[in-house]
Amino acid sequence: NAGVTQTPKFQVLKTGQSMTLQCAQDMNHEYMSWYRQDPGMGLRLIHYSVGAGITDQGEVPNGYNVSRSTTEDFPLRLLSAAPSQTSVYFCASSYSKGALEQFFGPGTRLTVL
């Protein structure tokens, strides 16, 4: 069991570039989510999914897109990166929405110049 995996671990982008942050889990969890962590701001929910084919917005969705074509994968897309998107991004999964224990990936540190 690998748990929740994220790639890449580090990424540097120029303003306006696009990229996809990958997230995968092998625990057959229905619920997956993306958070961003900024100094002094804690973890803020970007998007989440309650199952394949179903996604919804969190607290800070602007500038990000997601899709959930399989139970295992939940990629996060930045269509046109901005310096304000410099952050550490965490993917998490749990058995269901509202399940108490969310399992977090190791994070992706993104810098946008």
Partner 1 sequence: GQQLNQSPQSMFIQEGEDVSMNCTSSSIFNTWLWYKQDPGEGPVLLIALYKAGELTSNGRLTAQFGITRKDSFLNISASIPSDVGIYFCAGLNYGGSQGNLIFGKGTKLSVKP
Residue range at the interface with partner 1 (CB under 8 A); choices 15-23, 33-41, 69-77, 78-86: 33-41
Beta bridge partners of 23: 6
Q: What six digits make up the tokens of 50?
A: 């309650």
Residue 83 binds partner 1 (CB under 8 A): no
Report how far residue 50's alpha carbon sits from residue 16's, in angstroms, rounded to the nearest whole number.
Answer: 30
CA 44 to chain centre: 11
Residue 27 binds partner 1 (CB under 8 A): no
CA 70 to chain centre: 15
Residue 2 binds partner 1 (CB under 8 A): no
Residue 30 binds partner 1 (CB under 8 A): no
Residue 10 binds partner 1 (CB under 8 A): no
Q: How far is the CB of 80 from partner 1 (least distance, A)?
A: 26
Question: For 40, which DSSP code?
Answer: T
User: Which C-beta is closer to partner 1: that of 8 or that of 16?
Assistant: 8
Residue 45 binds partner 1 (CB under 8 A): yes
Residue 1 binds partner 1 (CB under 8 A): no
Contact 107, 10 (CB under 8 A): no
